[in-house]
Amino acid sequence: MTRLSVNINKIATLRNARGGNMPDVLKAALDCESFGAEGITVHPRPDERHIRYSDVRSIRPLVKTEFNIEGNPIGSFVALVCEVRPDQVTMVPDARDAITSNAGWNTLSNRIFLSEMCSAFKEKGIRTSIFVDPDPKMVEGARVCGADRVELYTAAYAENFKSDPQKAVEPYLKAAETARECGLGLNAGHDLNLDNLSFFIKTIPWTDEVSIGHALICDALYMGLEKTIWSYLEQIQNF
C-alpha cells in the first residue's frame, strides 16, 4: 500500500509571513497524523523561509509515523539530519535561491558525492532516497550510489497529465520498473494532486510513498485539513 507523507512546508510559510506561531506547525504535523497521514515531510532550506531547523528538532520526537527530511545535502543540512535521525532522508539538488525543487540529481556525474552522503546517513541508521528525473539511467545510478530508494520528480507528469495521461506517465513507468529491477524502493512527489494521483498509483502500484504538500495544503483551505487528507488517502487506496 502506498503511504501518504504530508509535506508541511506551506504551513510554516504562512506562519513565517506574519511572525508568531500561527498556524502552529507542530500541531499541524500531529493533526496530519491523527487524520490518517502515514508520514510527515519537511524540506528545510538554508534561508529558513518556511520550515526552520528548530522546527525539525521540535517535530522529530513528536512524530509517531514516518519522518522524512528532504533537501540539498550541504554541510548544515547533513549535520541536522545526522543529529535528529529521521526515518528517511531525501537528497534533492535544489539551489539556495530555488523557489521549489525543479530537477533531479544526475546520479552519474555526482556519483562520488552521493555515495559519500548515502554512506554517512546510513551509518546513522537513516534510509536514503535520491530525488531523480524519470530516467532509468539516473535510477540505476542511484543504486550504484548506495541509495535505498529513489523519489521520482513528478512535475512533468502533472504538467502533461490533462492532455494525455498515458503519455505523461510512460517515462515514470519505465523508471519505476528499473527501480524495481534494481531492488530500490520507490517514492514520488511534486505537483501530485487529487486529479492526477490515482492514475499514477494505478499505473505504478508498487510506489512506496508519495510526498504531497502544496496541492494538499491548498485543498485544505477549502475542504479543511482532515477532509483533505481523507480525500488523498481515498485516491491512493481506491484507484
Grid look-up 492526477 returns 196
Q: Please check whether residue 220 is in contact with residue 16, taking contact to mean a CB–CB distance below 8 angstroms.
A: no
For the chain, count helices (H), then strands (E).
11, 8
Instruction: Provide the CA 216 distance to its chain's centre, in angstroms.
Output: 13
Q: Decide if 50 is catalytic.
A: no
Q: What is the reported pLDDT for 232?
A: 98
**Cα torsion 126, 142, 181, 204: sign:** positive
Q: What is the reported pLDDT for 98?
A: 63
Query: Is cis: bond before 23, omega within 30 of 0?
Result: yes
From the candidates 70, 140, 151, 209, which is the catalytic residue?
Answer: 70
Q: What is the reported pLDDT for 238?
A: 77
Q: How many residues does the chain have?
A: 239
Beta bridge pairs of residue 152: 132, 188
From the candidates 43, 50, 66, 140, which is the catalytic residue?
Answer: 43
Q: Where are the beta strands (DSSP E) in 107-190?
A: 127-132, 149-153, 185-189
165, HSE (Cβ side, Cα atoms, 13 Å): 10
pLDDT in tens for each of the 239 residues of the chain? 899 999 999 999 999 999 899 999 999 999 999 999 999 999 999 899 999 999 999 999 999 999 999 999 999 999 999 999 999 999 999 866 665 666 899 999 999 999 999 999 999 999 999 999 999 999 999 999 999 999 999 999 999 999 999 999 999 999 999 999 999 999 999 999 999 999 999 999 999 999 999 999 999 999 999 999 999 999 999 75
Q: What is the reported pLDDT for 103?
A: 81
Q: What is the reported pLDDT for 94?
A: 81
Q: Please check whether residue 155 is in contact with residue 191, taking contact to mean a CB–CB distance below 8 angstroms.
A: yes
Q: Decide if 43 is catalytic.
A: yes
